[in-house]
Amino acid sequence: MNILLLGRGKTGSLVAEVARQRGHQVGVLCAADNPRASALTAAKLAEVDTVIDFTTPHAVLDNIEACVRARKNMVVGTTGWYGELPRIRQLVEASGTGFLYAANFSVGVNLFFDVARAAAAALRHRYSGQIFERHHVHKKDAPSGTAVALQRIIHDASGTELEITSFREGDVVGMHELVLDSPADTIYVCHDAKSRRGFAEGAVRAAEWLAGKKGFFDFKDAWREL
Ligand SMILES: NC(=O)c1ccc[n+]([C@@H]2O[C@H](COP(=O)([O-])OP(=O)(O)OC[C@H]3O[C@@H](n4cnc5c(N)ncnc54)[C@H](OP(=O)(O)O)[C@@H]3O)[C@@H](O)[C@H]2O)c1
């Protein structure tokens, strides 16, 4: 495929590397190349099959709207815009393009969510639960989006809202832990990311999965088919 990557930051540069390793042609735009999505016209995107966005919450909505207008398939890894999800879903569905997004493109994290959902049954058997998350000291937000997603999954599965405790330490890539405790035993369910590579591989494989498809997709419903 001919992929255009928006963002060459920590994650975007790895996505470009993985996409090239998987045999795709990759163009990359940074903020200065694309103010207010000005580089995303139908003419400029004529040769592009799919756009992948790992930019900022500030830039992503302009980018999405421009790609939808140009009728280009798009994979979005950028977070922080989900208040606009219903409006974007409508735009995508009206335009007949393919669109896939995720707060976490790691297949391992999505598997971890499945395991955690099953383990939440413990909360109906007198276990108490807690969520812990650890990230590098440069991470700006706390708790992490992944910890909040885990909290919501446990709530939907058990009706119980667990407390999240966040730690910011050294260069930890991202560790999430669900601890379920009873007087008889303790259950630990843990995901420990070794690098950002899991996100990058998931995003590129999602772009491959989206090729030729139309519609609005959440990675959590698609990753099993990759
Ligand atoms: N879904 C997932 O699995 C996943 C995983 C990791 C991160 N994320 C999310 O992905 C986003 C990026 O994370 P990061 O850690 O890679 O951030 P980062 O290192 O700060 O990189 C952001 C990049 O976006 C670029 N940018 C800003 N506006 C742009 C525009 N209009 N057009 C093109 N590029 C633009 C910036 O370019 P300049 O360098 O020129 O300023 C910068 O390179 C965040 O929202 C983060 O939460 C998602």
DSSP string, 167-216: EE-TT--EEEEEEEE-SS-EEEEEEEESSTHHHHHHHHHHHHHHTT--EE
Residues 15 and 199: their CA atoms lie apart, in Å, by 8
Percent of the chain beyond pLDDT 70?
A: 100
Check whether the bond before 143 is cis (ω within 30° of 0).
Answer: yes
Task: Say whether 136 is catalytic.
Answer: no
Tens of pLDDT, residue by residue over 16-32, are 999 999 999 999 999 99
Question: Over the stretch 33-71, which tens digit does the pLDDT of each residue have?
Answer: 999 999 999 999 999 999 999 999 999 999 999 999 999
Each residue of 98-114: pLDDT tens digit?
999 998 899 999 999 99
pLDDT score at 36? 97
**pLDDT given for residue 55 in this prediction:** 96
The pLDDT score that the predictor gives to residue 140 is 73
pLDDT of residue 193: 94
Residue with tokens 């099993």: 224
40 lines ligand 1 (CB under 6 A): no
Return the ligand 1 atom nearest residue 104 CA. 3
Dihedral angle sign, alpha carbons of residues 22, 67, 81, 88: negative
What digits encode the pLDDT tens for the residues 74-130? 999 998 898 999 999 999 999 999 999 998 899 999 999 999 999 999 999 999 999
Ligand 1 contacts CB of residue 224 (under 6 A): no
Query: Of 24, 72, 135, 191, which is the active-site residue?
Result: 135
Whether residue 141 has pLDDT greater than 90: no
* 88's tokens: 């974007």
> What percentage of the chain exceeds 90 in pLDDT?
91
β-pair partners for 167: 134
Q: Is the pLDDT of residue 200 over 90?
A: yes
Banded pLDDT at 138 (limits 50, 70, 90): confident
- Structure-block tokens of residue 38: 């000005």
* Catalytic annotation present for 194: no
Average pLDDT value over all residues in the chain: 96
What mean pLDDT is predicted for residues 132-153?
90
Distance 183 CA to ligand 1 centre (A): 45
HSE-CB for 196 with a 13 A CA cutoff = 18
pLDDT digits (tens, 9 = 90+) for 182-194: 999 999 999 999 9
Q: Is residue 145 very low, low, confident or very high in pLDDT (cuts 50, 70, 90)?
A: confident
Closest CA to 159 of 132, 124, 204: 124
Q: What is the pLDDT of residue 139?
A: 82
Please compute, for residue 80, the number of CA atoms within 13 A of its CA located in the half-sphere on the CB side: 14
